[in-house]
Chains A and B, each alone.
Chain A
Amino acid sequence: MTNRKGRFGVHGGQYIPETLMNAVIELEKAYNHYKDDPEFKRELTDLFNNYAGRPSLLYYAEKMTKDLGGAKIYLKREDLNHTGSHKINNVLGQALLAKKMGKTRLIAETGAGQHGVATATAAALMGMECVVFMGEEDTRRQALNVYRMELLGAKVVPVKTGTATLKDAVSEAMREWTSRISDTHYCLGSVMGPHPFPTIVRDFQAVISKEIKEQILSKEGRLPDAVIACVGGGSNAMGSFYNFIEDKGVALIGCEAAGRGIDTFETAATINTGRLGIFHGMKSYFCQDKYGQIAPVYSISAGLDYPGIGPEHAYLHDIGRAQYVPVTDDEAVNAFEYLSRTEGIIPAIESAHAVAYAMKIAPSMDRDKIIVITISGRGDKDCAAIARYKGVSYIEEDE
């Protein structure tokens, strides 16, 4: 009987080539050693507080609350972190861990570019080499982030295979890792992939819900009624949910990218349209055809444009602890504009999916109810793409 590690219900596991097995075993051992090591924790907390700018604010969105006329809305401002998104939390943790393991090179996949920018940043800070794989389609959608990564000293490799988006960037980063393991750590950006990545990334992102809990107790003296976050692979959502899983009174809501709608093929809503499968090192839900070919998913958001979901989310869905709702491109773009106008906060188009769902449910909730929305990143990177989507022509194309 083999030991089936890293399971969340039936999900998770380690479905990877034999070439990588000792690498993930070594990573798991190192993580188990350092995660409770006081010196490691002290160094990471120092990076969080004095480099990334943590704790991030929990902001009472008073104008939005009044405008919607229902539940009281707080925004967890991960967009205010250094590099502009929650991705830095995980990256600082993994880069520090990699450094302790004696690795000198970080590789990463990126969709919207936020994880790539965060990895390039950590590599610059810690004096490590960095290579980021990014779908060619995404290098166009997020050209500014390509420049940011290069500015930070990283090499960006455009991935032309498959749909040339996030899933192909993950595949290419995995291929690269199998060819160069001894000095290289694969800094996976979401709560996905083979064990131990879903656990490691969750633990580093769990600082989000730890802070939300402390901040809301201090501001309101009680826990929120709902925590809402967007879900692609699901790292900001897992980080936002984790410390509330045992608090059954807190509804946990993940917002999937429905693209042009879950009744179309142009969607990336995995829980809503996918089924159980094995891909990218894990068993979980995936958008796929009847023969198990992974579907070419679509979303306006490069960061949510992924055909799978992290195994712990799949499990929270199975046991009914979290619910996963679809949000379309149109709804997200509307929320992107709404939050910009109403609160003067431009959210990432990914985070706008969570804002959009809050806008749907807040008006019908009582005024003594509390919603926390995680604003996982800032939206500067999206302005050109949204302008294109809206048919605004004054943005210069750099193609």
Chain B
Amino acid sequence: MSRIGKAFENGKAFIAFITCGDPELETTVEAVRQMVQNGADLIELGIPFSDPTAEGPVIQGANLRALTGGVTTDMIFDMVRDLRTDVDVPMVFMTYANVVYSYGADKFLSACSEIGIDGIILPDLPFEEKEEFLDTCHKYGVDLISLIAPTSANRIAMIAREAEGFIYVVSSLGVTGTRSEITTDLGSIVKAIRENTDVPCAIGFGISTPEQARKMAEVSDGAIVGSAIIKIIEKYGKDAPKYVGEYVRSMKEALA
């Protein structure tokens, strides 16, 4: 098992997402440290992309702010290298296939391995296309995280059987963003997953409140939160890290 397994050893996992470089990398670094100190079990670091087709308006905005601020993949690699001096929770990259492909998959994944990235999530790389990067991921010991959606139905078994790291269960149709309620029958999706694999599964998309996180964690191994954190950063800018920390603490406590 990769380091990602450790994220699920401390009760239900709280997984926190942040877009790197929004509004600049210093804030990202400080926010990640606050997240970890306040109980985040796994950090998803978003590498911004010009056209994030799986994101709602909140994370689209974060991508735009980060790119406008001039952040690049190489700068993010340097940031992670720095974070790894004191952060030992698992960290994964969340980005789009072209960011990896254009950089050169071998070069990108060897850098991941060198700086201490444990996995990658690519929302535009479904099961049918994963061989694009899978061998290279394995060569460098980086888990390629699979996503399962409310529409996956007959595909769940196939995806779950080959899953590694953790499974990202998409709670709802549509793009990322906070939602007032989540209506998908997630219990039966998770049940179908567990019939096929022991890899832990966490639910994301639309979760913002401690109550929602608790509900999601009741039926799975953890909750993933992105847009709610980005909203805090959007609101407080450079002052955001301490508020992000407080928020993460409230969410992790709800899962305890």
Contact = CB atoms under 8 A, between A and B. Distances in A.
A278 B97 contact: yes
Contacts of A390: none
Nearest to A181: B151
A277 B132 CA distance: 12
Contacts of A279: 51, 98
Interface stretch (B29-37, B82-90, B167-175, B192-200): B167-175
Interface string A1-36: 111110000000111111111110000000000000
B170 A19 contact: yes
Contact of B127 (A21, A286, A288): A21
A293 interface: yes
A249 interface: no
Contacts of B115: none
B126 A178 contact: no
A277 B128 contact: no
Contact of A13 (B129, B150, B174): B129
A314 to B, nearest CB: 14
B178 interface: no
A388 to B, nearest CB: 28
B53 interface: yes
A171 B98 CA distance: 15
B127 A277 contact: no
Nearest to B61: A161
Interface stretch (B1-9, B99-107, B229-237): B99-107
A177 to B, nearest CB: 9
B50 A162 contact: yes
Interface residues of A, number: 42
B139 to A, nearest CB: 18
B123 interface: yes
B201 interface: no
Contacts of A317: none
B73 interface: yes
A168 B99 contact: no
A293 B71 CA distance: 11
Residue from the set A2, A4, A15, A20 with the largest chain B CB neighbour count within 10 Å = A15
Given A14-B129, A161-B60, A181 B173 contact: yes
A23 B97 CA distance: 20
B151 A22 contact: yes
A181 B173 CA distance: 9
Contacts of B103: 291-292
Nearest to B56: A175
Given A21-B155, A181-B151, A292-B98, 8 more contacts: A2-B128, A18-B148, A18-B155, A19-B149, A171-B53, A175-B175, A291-B103, A294-B51
Interface of B: 49-51, 53-54, 56, 60, 64, 67, 72-74, 96-103, 123-132, 146-155, 159, 170, 173-175
Interface of A: 1-5, 13-23, 161-162, 167-168, 171, 174-175, 178-181, 275-281, 283, 286, 288, 290-294
